[in-house]
């Protein structure tokens, strides 16, 4: 599994990239792999506020549906509308073009509670 | 350690849902280990989140007249039928633990179905772009699941007996013209019992997901943690 070093991670398999005052959020390589080929994405509305670990988005493959959670509390500032037509970008480029939404954190210190890449990797099972 | 629970009599769909939701909440809260349910349902047609009602070939009142319930389920996938003669496996497991991360959960469920067929001498395979398990007689296992807080709900159904008449009332999984197979249609007299098939599915589940299942046979008392999760005081 690919785990970029420069990102933060949640135990519900979201990744977070700090971009100035905002954060960019997506799902990890592990998460997209568990769901298989994604066919549908439900995104939040810009301006909506969420608490940390609240359900924000839904990603679906042909056979699976999974919720995506807010990594921290904050307000949605942008969503990746390109995914509505091309949800498969989450599979092919989970850390790049497959980003889901951007948030303005209520309290940036909440980011410190997220895992770094090493901690996230250690939280994962060993490959069989 | 994980539990496997077996149920002797067909359960109404809503009762299966209640069991799953209770176990899911307990698993998310880490009050129970991974738990896999093996059961049969009373006749029911369920629509997945992407299920379209034009894949339903009868009206709801016509279904009810035939004793078949209709539900919209929160799982992924399209329309399917459950009824007696079919083993339904509902794993309530936390993904990302116990080695389930190597191939993906969908792949693992398909592997359980293919291995279960092999255990009874039936060849089964995947079909590119069409999930589930396929045999010479058609599709024998259907998959649809949901992941909430990274604990799974719903799962897979595996056809044992023929004459699962409810399939005639739908376009299963939205795939027109694809026959539905059962072990009976492939093995005839040599068809194993529902209990044997559920046991074989549990064996394959252990092998594929790297979990050891403590099996609670039909009618045995539940371990305390499961009893507490299912029958809150």
**DSSP codes joined into one string, A3-17:** --TT-EE-TTSEEEE
Contact B42, B84 (CB under 8 A): yes
Residue B33 has pLDDT above 80, yes or no: yes
**In this structure, what is the dihedral angle of CA atoms B174, B177, B182, B188, given to the nearest 10 degrees?**
170
- Could you tell me the pLDDT band of residue B90, with boundaries at 50, 70 and 90? very high
Average pLDDT over residues B8-31: 95
Which of B75, B102, B103, B150 is the best mutation test for A, with the most CBs of A within 10 A?
B150
Looking at the complex, report in whole angstroms how far the Cα of residue A53 sits from the nearest Cα belonging to chain B.
9
B154 — alpha (psi -120 to 50), left (phi > 0) or beta? left
The residue to which tokens 């092999």 are assigned: B118
B172 CB within 8 Å of a chain A CB: no
Using the predicted structure, report yes or no on whether residue A33 has a pLDDT greater than 90.
Answer: no
- Which of A14, A34, A68, A91 to probe the B interface (max B CBs under 10 A)? A34
Q: What's chain A's average pLDDT?
A: 92
Q: Please say if the pLDDT value at position B99 is more than 50.
A: no
Q: B96 contacts in A (CB within 8 Å)?
A: 13, 30, 34, 123-125
Whether the CB-CB separation of A59 and A34 falls below 8 Å is answered with no
B32 contacts B102 by C-beta, under 8 angstroms: no
A60 vs B50: CB contact, 8 Å cut-off? yes
pLDDT in tens, B140-159: 999 999 989 889 999 999 99
Model pLDDT for residues A74-88, shown as the tens digit of each residue: 999 999 999 999 999
Q: What is the mean pLDDT of residues A7-25?
A: 95
Task: Test A33 with B75 for CB contact under 8 angstroms.
Answer: no
Interface test with A, best of B80, B91, B104, B108 (most A CBs within 10 A): B104
**Within a 10 A sphere around the Cβ of B189, how many other Cβ atoms?**
5
Q: What is the pLDDT of residue B30?
A: 93
Cβ-nearest to B99 among A13, A62, A128:
A128
Tell me how far apart the alpha carbons of residues B45 and B68 are, in angstroms, rounded to a whole number. Answer: 7
Instruction: Judge whether B124 and B140 are in contact, CB under 8 Å.
Output: yes
Residue A12 has pLDDT above 80, yes or no: yes
B68-82, B161-175, B197-211: least confident range: B161-175
What pLDDT was estimated at residue B205?
97
Give the sign of the dihedral formed by CA B71, CA B166, CA B85, CA B100: negative
The whole-number average pLDDT for the span B162-190 is 85
Residue pLDDT, tens place only, A107-126: 999 999 999 999 998 887 65
pLDDT given at position B218: 82
User: If you average pLDDT over every residue of chain B, what do you get?
Assistant: 90
Backbone phi, then psi, for B83, in 5-degree steps?
-170, 175
**Contact with chain A for residue B72, Cβ under 8 A:** no
> Would you say residue B202 has pLDDT above 80?
yes
Give me the residues paired with residue B219 across strands. Answer: none
Q: What is the pLDDT of residue A81?
A: 96
Per-residue pLDDT, B96: 74
What is d(CA A82, CA B183) in angstroms, rounded to the nearest whole number?
A: 44
CA distance A26 to A90: 8
Whether residue B56 has pLDDT greater than 50: yes
Q: pLDDT value at position A128?
A: 32
Residue B173 falls in the annotated catalytic set: yes
Q: What's the gap in Å between the CA of A37 and the closest CA on chain B?
A: 9
Q: A8-107: which CATH topology?
A: OB fold (Dihydrolipoamide Acetyltransferase, E2P) (2.40.50)
The ipTM is: 0.72
Gap between the Cα atoms of A118 and B35, Å rounded: 29
User: What's the gap in Å between the CA of A59 and the closest CA on chain B?
Assistant: 10
Give the 3-state secondary structure of residue A4. Answer: coil
Confidence of residue B233 (pLDDT cuts 50, 70, 90): low
B27-36, B56-65, B164-173: segment of lowest average pLDDT: B164-173
pLDDT in tens, B100-131: 445 688 889 999 999 999 999 999 999 877 77
Are the CB atoms for B180 and B167 separated by under 8 Å?
yes
Torsion sign over Cα A119, A125, B2, B8: positive
Q: How crowded is residue B176: how many other Cβ atoms within 10 Å of its Cβ?
A: 7
Mean pLDDT along residues B194-203? 97
Beta bridge partners of B89: B38, B156
Task: Spell out which residues of chain A touch residue B98, defining contact as CB-CB under 8 Å.
Answer: 125
**What pLDDT was estimated at residue B103?**
66
What token pair was written down for A85?
Answer: 């037509």
Question: Nearest-CA residue of chain A relative to B28?
Answer: A12
End-to-end CA, chain B: 25
Q: How far apart are CA A86 and CA A40, in angstroms?
A: 8
């Amino acid at each position: 599994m690919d785990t970029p070093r420069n990102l933060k991670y949640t135990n519900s398999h979201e990744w977070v990239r700090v971009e100035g005052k905002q954060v960019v959020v997506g799902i990890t390589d592990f998460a997209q792999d568990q769901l298989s080929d994604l066919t549908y994405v439900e995104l939040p509305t810009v301006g909506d506020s969420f608490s940390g670990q609240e359900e924000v988005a839904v990603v679906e493959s042909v056979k699976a549906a999974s919720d995506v959670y807010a990594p921290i509390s904050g307000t949605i500032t942008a969503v990746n509308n390109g995914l509505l037509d091309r949800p498969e970008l989450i599979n092919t480029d989970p850390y790049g073009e497959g980003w889901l939404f951007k948030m303005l954190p209520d309290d940036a210190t909440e980011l410190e509670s997220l895992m770094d890449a090493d901690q996230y990797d250690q939280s994962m099972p060993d490959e069989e | 350690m994980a539990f496997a629970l077996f149920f002797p009599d067909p359960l109404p769909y809503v009762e299966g849902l209640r069991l799953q939701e209770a176990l899911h909440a307990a698993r998310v809260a880490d009050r129970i280990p991974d738990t896999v349910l093996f059961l049969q349902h009373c006749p029911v047609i369920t629509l997945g989140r992407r299920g379209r009602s034009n894949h339903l070939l009868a009206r709801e009142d016509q279904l009810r007249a035939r004793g078949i319930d209709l539900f919209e389920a929160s799982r992924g996938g399209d329309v399917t039928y459950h009824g007696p003669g079919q083993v339904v496996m509902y794993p309530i497991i936390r993904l990302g633990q116990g080695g389930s991360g190597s191939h993906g959960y969908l792949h693992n469920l398909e592997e359980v179905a293919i291995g279960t067929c092999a255990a009874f001498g039936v060849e089964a395979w995947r079909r590119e772009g069409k999930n589930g398990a396929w045999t010479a007689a058609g599709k024998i296992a259907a998959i649809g699941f949901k992941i909430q807080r990274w604990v799974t709900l719903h799962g897979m159904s595996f056809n044992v007996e023929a004459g699962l008449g409810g399939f005639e009332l739908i376009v299963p999984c939205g795939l027109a013209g694809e026959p539905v197979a059962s072990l009976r249609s492939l093995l005839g007299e040599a068809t194993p019992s529902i209990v044997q098939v559920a046991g074989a599915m549990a064996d394959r589940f252990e092998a594929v997901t790297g979990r050891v299942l403590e099996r609670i046979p039909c009618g045995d008392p539940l371990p305390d943690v499961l009893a507490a999760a299912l029958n809150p005081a």
